[in-house]
Amino acid sequence: MLEKINIENVLFLDIETVPVYPNYSQLPAHYKQFWDNKAKYISRENETPDEIYQKAGIYAEFGKIICISIGAVKKIEGKYVLRIKSFYGDDEKQVLAGFIELLKKSYNRPEHLLCAHNGKEFDFPFLARRMMINNLKLPYLLDIAGKRPWEIPHLDTLELWKFGDYKNYTSLDLLATVFNIPSPKGDINGKDVARVYWEEKNLERIVIYCQKDVLTIVQIILHYKGEPLISDDSVVIV
C-alpha cells in the first residue's frame, strides 16, 4: 500500500495537549465532579489529586490543544524537502481555526491523507473532538462519520508497525531508535508538556518539541517506503 501513496499528498502532524486548568484546585465545582469520576479509573496508589490531574491533558473532555505542528514533503530537483509549520497559542479555538483553514485550502481532496504516530487513537479523534467543543466545523479529512475503515484518509506510523498485532504499543522514540533515525526527544518529553506550559509558561519550547516529532514521523514513513531520509539542510521551518 505504501508504494502507491504519493508522499506529497500526505500532511504529517503532531499535537501537544495540556489540562484545561493549571491544577486540580482550580477546576470549577461542576467540572470537578466529572473529573473525579474519571480519576477513579486512572489513578495509582498514593497519587495526589494534582498528580492525577496532570493526566487530564490526554482526554479531549478535560484537555486542550496548545500546538499543532504540520509537515509537508515536496520533491525539488530530485530531493525531498520538508516544510514544517506550527499553529500554537493559549487560545485553542484560534489554533484550531488556523489549522482548519489550511486543510480547507490545501488538503481537501480524496487523495489527501493525514499521518501521525498513534494518530488513529489520539491525534485525529482529539482534534475532531476539540473542534466540536469549540463549535468549529470539521474539515474534510476529519469528517469521517459513516465512512468505511478503508475510506478514512488517515495513516498511522504505529498501526503500520503493528502489522495486525494489537497487543503492543511502540513509542515514536523507540521506533526511531530501532530504525537508526535520530531521536525526536530533546530536553523534554510528553510528560513534561503540562508543567512547561502551566508552570514555566514556555510555549516556544513545546513547539520545538512538537516539530521534532513531525520530522521523525516523516522519516519513519520514508524508511517504511525504502526511500532516503531527509537531510537536516532540507528541513524548513515556516
Q: Domain segments of the chain: what residues? A: 2-20+62-237
128-133 mean pLDDT? 98
- Report the alpha-carbon distance of residue 174 to residue 221 in Å, rounded: 15
How many CB atoms within 10 Å of residue 89? 15
Architecture of domain 2-20+62-237: 2-Layer Sandwich (3.30)
pLDDT at 208 over 90: yes
Distance CA(190)–CA(165), nearest Å, equals 24
How do residues 4-23 score in pLDDT, each as one tens digit?
Answer: 889 999 999 999 999 999 99
Q: pLDDT digits over 138-164, tens only?
A: 999 999 999 888 889 999 999 999 998
R_g over Cα of the chain: 18
Identify whether the C-beta of residue 115 lies closer than 8 Å to the C-beta of residue 156: yes
pLDDT of residue 32: 94
C-alpha to C-alpha distance for 76 and 65, rounded to whole angstroms: 33
Nine-digit cell string for 92: 485553542
Residue 184: predicted pLDDT: 67
Q: Is 204 helix (H, G, I), strand (E, B) or coil?
A: helix
State what percent of residues in the chain have pLDDT above 70: 99
What rounded mean pLDDT belongs to the chain?
A: 94
pLDDT confidence of 106, banded at 50, 70, 90?
Answer: very high
DSSP string, 117-137: TTTTTTHHHHHHHHHHHTT-P
pLDDT score recorded for residue 119: 97
Q: Residue 64 phi/psi, 5° resolution? A: -135, 160
pTM here is 0.95
Is the pLDDT assigned to residue 1 strictly greater than 80? Answer: no
* Structure confidence by residue, pLDDT tens digits, 64-84: 999 999 999 999 988 999 999
Q: What are the phi and psi torsion angles at 82 (to 5°)?
A: -110, 125
Task: Measure CA 155 to chain center.
Answer: 12
pLDDT category of residue 185 using cuts at 50, 70 and 90: low
pLDDT computed for residue 158 by the predictor: 96
Residue 86's closest CA among 237, 222, 228? 237
Query: Which secondary structure element, helix H or strand E, spans residue 30, and what is its range?
Result: helix 29-42
pLDDT of res. 2 = 83
In contact, 199 and 212? CB cutoff 8 Å = no
Give CA–CA dist 72/135, Å, rounded: 27
All three cell numbers of 105, joined, read 485550502
